[in-house]
Each structure stands twice: as C-alpha cells, then as structure tokens.
A and B are shown apart, each in its own frame.
Chain A
Amino acid sequence: MLAYIIRRLFYAIPILIGVNLLTFALFFMVNTPDQMARVQLGDKYVDPQAIEAWKSQRGYDKPLFLNDREGSEGLLTDTIFFDKSIRLFALDFGKSDEGRSISADIYQRMWPSLAVALPTFVIGLAVNIALALFVVMFRASLFDTAAMVACVVLMSISGVFYVFAGQYLFAKLWNLVPISGYLAGLDAAKFLILPVIIGVIGGIGSGTRLYRTLFLEEAGKDYVRTARAKGVPELTVLFRHILPNGLIPILTSVVVVIPSLFMGSLLVESFFGIPGLGSYTLDAIQAQDFAIVRSMVFLGSLLYIVGLILTDISYTLVDPRVRLS
C-alpha cells in the first residue's frame, strides 16, 4: 500500500503544476501587475513611480513566463511564474499582496471553517442516514412517496433562502441565537448553532434521497431477504445488515470531502460572518490578491488529491476484497 501511496503522490505533482499554471494564466489574463498595484495602492494620487515600487517589492516587475532579458540561464526561472510557484511545493505560501503571511492567515482562519464545516458534515451525515433508513423502513408506502416529494422540495429551495429564513425566524423573530458573527473558543458555540442547523437542513433533501437509493439497493439483496426469512426484526435488519453494507459507497463518497472541510463554505461563511477560509478566498478574489488566490487554489487541489488517496485507502479498510497495489 505504501508504494501505491507514494506513486499516487508522485502523480499529484504534474496535476498540481497544471493547476498552478492554469490559475496563473487565468489570473493574469484579466489582471496585469499594474492593475493589481492600482487596486492595492488605491485611487488617490497613485503615480507611476509608486506602481513600479509596488511591483518591484512584490516581484511583479519580472516577465510572466519567459525572461529573455536574462539570457538562457534565467529564461524560465527569473519569471513571476517560477518565483511565485516553486515555493508552493514546499508549502511555503509566502506573503499576500498586502504583505501579510498567508500561512499564518490560513492557520488562523481554518479553525472557524472547521468549526462550521465539521459539525455540519457529521450531523448532516447522521441525520441523512437516519432519515434515509427511516424512509427505507416504510418503502413503497405513502410515507415513502411523501418523503421523497419533501426531499425534492427541499432540494429545489435555494440555499440563500434557508439562510434568510433561518436568520429571520431564529435570530430576529424569536431571539434565540445571534443572527451572525463569530467569537473564538467556547463562545463560538452559540454562533454555530444556526449555520449548522441551516447547513444540515439544506443538505437533507439531496442526502436523504441519495442514501435512500443506496440503502434500497442493499434492501433488495438476497442476504437481507434471508435475514428477514429467519425472522430478524426490521430494526435489526436495517442497522445490522443494510446499514454496514450500504455505508461502503457512502463512506467512499464522504472521505473525499473530508480534507476539503478545511476550505470552508463561501455561502455560509459570507452570510453568517464566519471568518473562515471560504470568505478568505472570496475576499482575495475581490481584492485581486493573486498570492492568496494562487495559494488557496493550490491548497484546494492538494487537499482534493489527498482526499482521493484517502478514499482509495478507505476502500481497503471497509471492503476486504479491495487491495491496493
């Protein structure tokens, strides 16, 4: 397995280079270093000297991809792309265009992201599985049909509506939780209740439908029929037979998401004022801070690759028939 993981990690290198190259090309297609300098320096009294000084301080005074001024030695290396990209592979994100350490910011902001994403993920998973099992228990009944209609309705409603409705009801009308905000430590709990509830409710429609389908597939298999034939109670059938086997596809689809939980949610973080990595990325895009955008895209890609590797590993753990080689 170790050889497999190492091989997969090596495969990741060209992928990450490609992602980085694409991010770089897309970003600089719409933003020149001069424009970035203007955004950072503001509108008032910004003269060409200040723009040149800003570019020079941040290394944006070099050519983008090819430096033919420096001769063959620095043709590729003395460029913005090389300067800004090579350190990423050592996870050295450098400084933002505002001059702040990106690593320090990421470390600080990943905790609020996790504080929202992790409970939403865990509780959402549990609720969706529980509801799916409940619906499976009454499958092919009127309740099943009604539940699926409800799921489709829940899926059809925009996530923003859940946010507004939740904020209006829980925070404004009933005064039960703060409408938005975040405090570090244990004080964070009261701010997380509403986004987590909304995140869970927002995911019920699609989650329950998907898991119901997976459980129904298991419920129709011979070993389940045999269990029932032996007189095993329905709850035992569900929890001892259907659930563990139905969890294999669920687990593998879920594991890939786990590393990405660090990256936060743009929607929830933005509306609830949670200072996580989702809003960090959004702010950087708006501020045209290439250093942060590049770092976050790189980190996202890296975590996704890690997620895929973890998925492969999890296959071997939950299904003994699978072996990595």
Chain B
Amino acid sequence: MKPIVKDICCKVSRGYQFVCQPGRRLIALALLASLVACSDTTLNSPHPAGEDSQKIIAYSSFSERPKHLDPVRSYSADEGVFIDQIYDPPLQYHYLKRPYELVPNTLTAMPEVVYSDINGNPVAEDSPELVYSTYVLTLKPGTYYQPHPAFATQASSEQGEDTQPRYRFASAADSAAFKTLDDFTESDTRELVAADYVYQLKRLADPANLSPIRGLLAEYIVGMNEFAEQVTAARKQLADEPRYQQTRWLNLDNYDFSGVKLLDKYRYSIQLKGKYPQFRYWLAMRFLAPVPELVDEFYHQPGLADRNITLDWHPVGSGPFMMTLNDPNEAIVLQRNPNYRDDFYPTEGEPGDAEAGLLDDAGKRLPMIDEVIFRLEKESIPLWTKFLQGYYDRSGISSDSFDQAVSIGTTGVDLSDELKQLGIKLNVEVLPVTYYFGFNMLDPIVGGQPLPDSDQPADPVAQEKARKLRQAIAIAYNEEERISIFLNGRGETAQSPIPPGIFGYQQGQDGINSYVFDWDPNIRQEGASEPGAPVRKSIEVARQLLAEAGYPDGRDAQTGEPLVLNLDTPTGGGAASAQQIWLIKQFKKLGIQLNIRGSDYNRFKEKMVTGNAQMFQWGWSADYPDAENFLFLLYSKNGQVVTGGAGVNSSNYHNPEYDRLFEQMKLMPDSPERLAIIKRMIAIYQHDAPWASGLHLHSYVLDNPWVKNTKPHGISAATLKYRKIDTDMRAELREQRNQPVLWPLILVALVILVLMIPGYRAYRQRQNYRVMDAFKRSSGAPANSSQTTDSNGGQG
C-alpha cells in the first residue's frame, strides 16, 4: 500500500470515530468508504485488480467489433489491428525505414521473380515477349503455429504410429458439448509449410469466401477464374448432400489452381499474367497469409458455426500473437504466441530514430510484451478520460479533446501544458490517405464527358467550359481554411492525388498545383527548412475563369439564370451542417448557388454507381505505398459507372493520355523515368481538375510516458510486436493520477443526516400533536383529551 493511501485510511478512520455518535447510517457509510479506500488498487480502474502484476500487458481499445477476422475476408484497418498481429504473410514492412520498405517475413529472402514467354521460356524483364511473371517464394524452416485444437492429434491405430486429428465430428450432435473454443481442451502446433500459403490462395480464389480482392487478383493470377469455376461447380454438385449442407466444407486441395504451385515443403510459386510489380505489396497483406487445410476443415465441422466457432471469429496464425479471447462485447485479448519464431527488433532505421530512442532495443527478441488487451470503447470522452487516467497506453485525439491536448502556435504543433506535465508524448505522421472533393465527369455541367455507352462524340467546347468551371471552383474552395476550422489543422492541402511519403510526391515549388496556387518565396511553411510556400490564387482569377466558362458572376451568360450546382452527400445535421454552411460560402464567393443533397449512405452510393451525382466528397486509404495505388483513382477503366460500382475512379474521369501513361507507369519500378511519367500524369490531373481539391490527413497519436518504441506506420498494422511497456512506471503513475476523492461521499452522508434530523423531529412532532393541546394553547383551557388530528387536519 502506498503511503498516500494509508493517509486516506487514517483520515477516514478518524472520521468514523468522530461521527459514530450521530447515527448508524453514517457509521456504515464511513466504514464502507474506509474499506474501499484501504484497497490496494485504484477505485476507478476499468481493469481487474492485479491483472498486469505478473505479465507485461499493453492496454488498448476498439470502438466497433471486427466484422471479419478471416484473412481472406478482412479488409478493414480496424480489423488489421488484431489479425495483422496473428497472421504471417510472406513479406512485411520495415518498421523504421521511410520511404516504406518491404522485407522478408516468413521468407528466407525476397521472392525471386522469373519472367517467361507464352511457352514458359525465361525472358528478360523488359522483353516484349514477356507473358508471365512467376514469383518463387521460399520459407524459413522452423516457423510454428500458435497452439490450437485444430492441430491436436490422436493415434489412429493401436500401435499409435499413425495419427489423425483429435477433433472430428460426424454430426452436430457430436460437437454439441463444445460450446466455445475453450471447450477443446487439447491443442498442439504444427510447422508452417508452403502448402498452407497455397491453400490460402485457393481460399481467396473460391467465390464462396467472398474475398474483396478476388476480382482484382483474378485479373493477374493465372488460372484463378478457372479455379473459381471448378469449385463453384463442385459446390453446386454437393449442394444436396446432407453432410455438405451441414458443413459447407469443400477440400480445395482437391482442385488444381494452375497459377499456384507447391514446389516442395518450403517453396511455392505464383504465376501472374504479364508484369504486376505491385504484387509484392499484396504479399505483405493478410489476404496472402497462410491458412492450413486442416484448420479450415476443423472450423467447417457440423454444429460449430452455429455456436460462432469459425475461422472468421477465432483466427489461427503463426505470428507474434494469438487471440485468446474474442468477446467484442467486452474485450479482445492477444497473447504472445509461445511458438513464435526467432524475430528481432530492427538494428537500423532512418535518420533521427536513434536520437528518438527507437533503436535502444535493436536486436532484441520480439515481441516485447506478453499480452495486449483491447477493451470496447464506443464513446470518445470515456476513452480520453481513461487515457489521461493511465488506463490506456495510447490514444488518438478526438475533436472534443483537441483543445485540451494540443496547442497550435507560431512554432507549430505542441502538446498542452496539462499533457506535458503528465509526460505524454505526441506522434505526428502524414497518413497515406487522400480525401477529395470530386466532380462527376459524366455530368454535362461540371464534367462534359460523354456517357460510357453513348455514341455521341465529346463536345470539346463544352468540355473546355466545364474544365474552366472546375478550375474556378478549385480556386474558390479554400481547403486550408477547411482543415483549420474542421480538422484542427490536422491535414495538408493535396497538390496531387499522391500523399507525402509515396514515390512521386513532389515537395516545394515543383509540386504545387499551378492552376490553383502561386509560389511565394517569402513565406516560410510550418516546419520547413527553406522559405517559400504555395499561396492560393485570388478569387478574381476564379471569377475570370467562371466568366470564360460561360457563367459571369455565377449566372448563365445566355439565359441569365443563376448557376446551381449539387453536392451529394451521405451526411446531414450536427457537425456536418456547419461544414455544409462553410461549403455554401465557398461557392457563394463565385456567385454559384450550392445545393446540398443529403441522403443516407445507400442512396448516395447508388447515385455514385449510376453516375447521377454531380459533386461529392470521397476518400482513399492506400493499400500499399505505391503511386499506382493513388493514380489509379483516375484511371478510366476503374470508373464507378463502367465497373458497376467496383471501380475506384469515383469521378468517372477519362483522359486517354492519362490512361496510356498510367498503364506505362504501373509496370515500372521506381526510377527517374517513372517519376517523369508520374509528373506528367499529375500535370494532366491539375489541368483537367476532376477533383476541386484534396487533403492528406495527419495522424496525431499520444503515448503515455511508459510506452516505448512507437513509430507511426501508415501502411502496416503489424507493429505491436515492437512495442515496449515500462509496467513499473505505469503502475506508479496510475496510482498518482487516480487518488480517490472521498470527501464528497462523506458530505453526501452528512447532508442526508442533516435533512433527516429535522424530518424525524417533524414526524415525531406530528405524531405527538394533540388537538386539545392546541385548543388549550389557543383558548387557555386544560388538555384532557388524547384525540389526534389526521394529517389532513380533520379530527378522527
């Protein structure tokens, strides 16, 4: 017990001595208070007492329960926080180096890529005869899965030489005793082998698993569509079989996937159509992480899915952590995988990492914590309060708490004094995310592009007018002001679709959108070493463009009608309405009337898919750190309308030169030649202005002082293994921050007492009230009657 707690106990005890005379209630209350105060833990802790006394536990939170934890299905960043710690894709990102760099994860080296012609003969990378590229991946031996009942075995013969899986059920009745995964008392492990990666690729190709990237990868991986057809036909054949109806189990290993080959125990290959250099990034994602066939079969046994015992709920991996509790109503717990392979903290990073202490643990074994507990936190205020109390190690900053946490002054972003006193540290990073205000290029007023199925040729005059209208809006739409007002400055105006940190991003004067900004060499940007900053062109320039577009002062030059534009949005009310008022003001600068058409998300999405929106706001978070993953947002074959909603080109933008350059650029490695093409594509984008504006978000993450080795990583979520927690410091600071304040309880008890004493006296007085006494007092006659009044004042 800490001295300060003892002191409180003594005070409460003395209080008890003092108040024991007035009444039993107060005694009881004081006794309760003293008992509570004498506890060896803080009273407001949301964690069970003593939970972290024996283990190094990191505390975190989640706001929405993960929908999918099956690596073939899961695509959300929120889900990645959990399963990226569990599954082991072949590659991973270097934790410290920037720009982002891929390194082997379970592989011995980076994949070997072999290019071949139509007959399978090797050809050079730049050969015009190149038809296939084959990735050969070699695993490190000795990687083992987490303990799991799917790996448990038993002897299948009396001699005990052969084994078979321990848990196999013929019917739902057989498995009825297993209500949860914990009911499977036996577990075992197994070595990670290449067949597990092959099996997962087959799962990805199986349409029944609804993988979100199946359609995309089917364009590249040889034989994926054929494999999908095979298994779909097989599932149809089995549809009437009772066993299949119960389990939906199909052993995918029985079907051939021509583009995916198992070479030996530790080697496998993936054959792609043509060249697709970005495929290496997919190798670092959970979709291509291993799932053994016997794990898939285990979860497809009769009756288990009815009790939510599925791979989508209970992941099985060979990564640094394993999920030991998945109760998203309360908590999700990741524990250190006892079978985790040899993995060590990186020994090199980027300049400044050593000074920041990020290399203090270089070469140490990973993971550095035993357990991570994620608790459900739906509301931002309790989350923020618990972080300040020390019950969570890290926190983002919601708009509600921003002013309390951060001050933005002339010297840039800094923590508030309150947080500095608590020793909290701030991590800031520009996320590989682009939000934009887009135009639907199929709209006749703001776009002018012909519809995809239209025979009519484009009208160049109308297109040029629409372009000038878009340019005018791009100047009037003051993104810097929006970031300042609505995002507390947590972002920067996008000059192109490519965010900072991605190859192709241009800084300084070369990088500005010269149609919207001028370069002022005399202004110094926040945090910049050199003077010079972009300055938005004056509104007069925008008005001139608007007039050239045929709308002088915001009115149609021919009809005199005011120009009314429509913004479709899936939001409305609350904070959104303030933004909408701001948006209307931006257009009003040009005399344009902005009509905001709010609808629910479904209606909004439908308008986008059918091309009926005129202007909209959208965003894109990178799958991988490559310019292709941003520039494809404007590639015409990705148009929302032409793809029936599957495409990412929400503007339906179509520029043949841009498309040609994109197809050229996406096959190239990062090089000066590639950079030149990217610059040209950005110039086309800036000229055509399919987006009025864009912004790249900044991530602000706060760390309590006991948290070490945190460096924001915009792409990968598999970073928990590097985190370090000083548990002694945490325990001490938690206790300091959470001393209970007991005087309000005592005060409440006293107030109740004070109220009760006159109440009791009034009651007694009322009980003893005699009419004759009152009569005597008023008339002077002697009292000789015991009659009482009723409480209505009438005589009984």
Contact = CB atoms under 8 A, between A and B. Distances in A.
A193 B739 CA distance: 18
Interface string B320-343: 000000011111000000000000
Contacts of A210: none
Interface string A22-52: 0000000011100100111110111111100
Contacts of A62: none
Interface string A159-191: 000001001010111111111111110010011
A177 B742 CA distance: 12
Interface in A188-234: 190-191, 220, 225, 228-231, 233-234
The size bracket of the interface on A is: 35 or more
B385 A179 contact: yes
B183 to A, nearest CB: 14
Interface stretch (B17-25, B525-533, B577-585, B759-767): B759-767
Contact of B796 (A100, A174, A228, A275): A228
Contacts of B64: 283
B311 to A, nearest CB: 11
Interface of B: 42-46, 48, 64-65, 67-68, 75-76, 207-208, 210, 212-216, 305-308, 310, 312-313, 327-331, 375-379, 381-382, 385-386, 389, 600-602, 605-606, 623, 643-646, 648, 738-742, 744-745, 759, 762-763, 766-767, 786, 788, 790-792, 794, 796
Contacts of A39: 601-602
A270 B329 contact: no
Given A44-B75, A228-B790, A273 B376 contact: yes
Contacts of B382: 167, 171, 179-181, 271-273
A108 interface: yes
A137 B767 CA distance: 11
Nearest to A103: B306
Given A137-B791, A183-B48, A35 B605 contact: yes
Contact of B46 (A175, A180, A220): A180
B66 to A, nearest CB: 10
Nearest to B48: A187
21 contacts: A45-B212, A45-B213, A46-B646, A47-B646, A48-B645, A50-B214, A139-B791, A140-B792, A167-B381, A172-B385, A173-B741, A176-B741, A178-B44, A179-B386, A183-B48, A228-B790, A233-B767, A270-B378, A270-B379, A273-B377, A273-B382
B329 to A, nearest CB: 3
A179 B382 CA distance: 6
A114 to B, nearest CB: 14
B741 A174 contact: yes
A9 B624 CA distance: 59
A50 B208 CA distance: 9
A42 B328 CA distance: 20
A45 B216 contact: yes
A48 B313 contact: no
Contact of A175 (B602, B645, B646, B741): B741
Interface of A: 30-32, 35, 38-42, 44-50, 53-54, 57, 98-101, 104-105, 108-109, 112, 134, 137-140, 143, 164, 167, 169, 171-184, 187, 190-191, 220, 225, 228-231, 233-234, 270-273, 275, 279, 283, 288
Contact of B306 (A101, A184, A234): A101
Contacts of A98: 67-68
A279 B378 contact: yes
B329 A275 contact: yes
Contacts of B648: 44-45
Contacts of A42: 75-76, 212
Contacts of A191: 46
Given A45-B215, A112-B329, A180-B377, A138 B762 contact: yes
Contacts of A164: 381
Contacts of B385: 167, 171-172, 179
B35 to A, nearest CB: 13
Which 4 pairs across A and B sit closest by C-beta, in order of nearness? A275-B329, A229-B796, A47-B646, A180-B382
Nearest to B621: A44
Given A164-B381, A172-B389, 16 more contacts: A38-B602, A41-B210, A53-B207, A57-B210, A101-B308, A138-B762, A172-B385, A173-B741, A175-B738, A179-B381, A180-B377, A180-B382, A181-B46, A181-B382, A184-B330, A273-B375
